[in-house]
Amino acid sequence: MTTNVEIIRSEPLSDGFLRLNRYRLGLAVPGSGVRVVVDRECIDGLRAAVVLPFDPVSGQVVLVEQFRVGTLHSVTGGLTWEPPGGVIAVGHSAAETARREALEETGCRLGAMTRIAVCHTSPGFSDECVDIYCGELLDTDLPATAGNPHEGEYTRIVLRDLDRVIHDLGHGRLTAATLIIAVQWLALNRHRIDELWAADQRGPAAVDLTQ
């Protein structure tokens, strides 16, 4: 469907921790030839990368438990389990970001990585786009806590059997969209993960399955 969107006006509403803009847009109504004007708010400028560290020998994945204000009023009281990840800084690639955040948030070193998806997490009100990876966990001797206090980030490292995570996926603290996508992909591809990572070692920094 061709949207034929016209940006009539863009008005900044906030430029703090997040950048919020209000747009006045001209939209074509599908199948009618009519155009309408609508107002929408959007959180702009968000590009991130996450990685699900996985040890195929032990069958374990590494997650981080941390506070997320968007789940403050959920049954978890604001705590979620997610793959480590963060915002992609200017001049850095998604793969570099995934490796850096895995080390910062969990203390784990990664070997090969496979890029498995690109996800728009909340397209109704945010332009956030997340590159999702699955990475080879090189060791399981991890700290209990980590994070970056300068960013108000405090994480608890969670090491869990993949089968257990699959069983509980979508419930309690296991409801983050990036986690669901990464775990479901790994559940389908764990039998060939060594093959994918071997291809990575022969090629670029991360095999890309999204092209």
- Residue bearing the bigger pLDDT, 194 or 153: 194
CA–CA dist 59, 61 (Å, integer): 7
21 within some domain = yes
Number of domains in the chain: 2
Q: How many CB atoms lie within 10 A of CB 133?
A: 27
129 DSSP β-pair partners: 47, 120
Q: Which residue has the tokens 């020998």?
A: 57
CA–CA dist 36, 44 (Å, integer): 23
Its pTM stands at: 0.86
The band of 210, judged by pLDDT with boundaries at 50, 70 and 90, is: low
Helical (H) or strand (E) element with 86:
strand 85-87
Q: Which residue has the tokens 């979620």?
A: 80
38 & 65 share domain? no
CA–CA dist 114, 134 (Å, integer): 5
The arithmetic mean of pLDDT across residues 21-36, rounded, is: 89
135 & 156 share domain? yes
18 within some domain = yes
54 & 137 share domain? yes
Q: For residue range 128-170, what is the model confidence (pLDDT) as tens digits?
A: 999 999 999 998 889 898 877 777 778 899 999 999 999 999 9
170 within some domain = yes
Is 195 in a helix, a strand, or coil?
Answer: helix
115 & 75 share domain? yes
169 within some domain = yes
Domain that holds residue 13: 6-44
- pLDDT, position 15: 86
Q: Is the pLDDT of residue 33 over 90?
A: no
66 & 148 share domain? yes
Q: Which residue has the tokens 């006006």?
A: 9
CA–CA dist 64, 174 (Å, integer): 11
164 & 149 share domain? yes
167 & 72 share domain? yes
130 within some domain = yes
Is there a contact between 33 and 9 (Cβ–Cβ < 8 Å)? Answer: no
54 & 37 share domain? no
Here the CATH number for the domain that contains residue 188 is: 3.90.79.10
28 & 73 share domain? no
1 within some domain = no
DSSP strands (E only) in the chain: 6-15, 19-28, 35-44, 47-55, 60-67, 79-82, 85-87, 110-120, 129-137, 145-146, 155-161, 207-208
23 & 60 share domain? no
140 & 99 share domain? yes
- pLDDT, position 99: 96
Is 139 in a helix, a strand, or coil?
Answer: coil
- pLDDT, position 87: 92
75 & 91 share domain? yes
- pLDDT, position 1: 46
Q: Is the pLDDT of residue 209 over 80?
A: no
23 within some domain = yes
Is 99 in a helix, a strand, or coil?
Answer: helix
Q: Is the pLDDT of residue 18 over 80?
A: yes
Q: For residue range 98-139, what is the model confidence (pLDDT) as tens digits?
A: 999 999 999 999 999 999 999 999 999 899 999 999 999 998
When computed from its CA atoms, the radius of gyration of the chain, rounded to whole angstroms, is: 19
113 within some domain = yes
Strands 207-208 and 155-161: unpaired
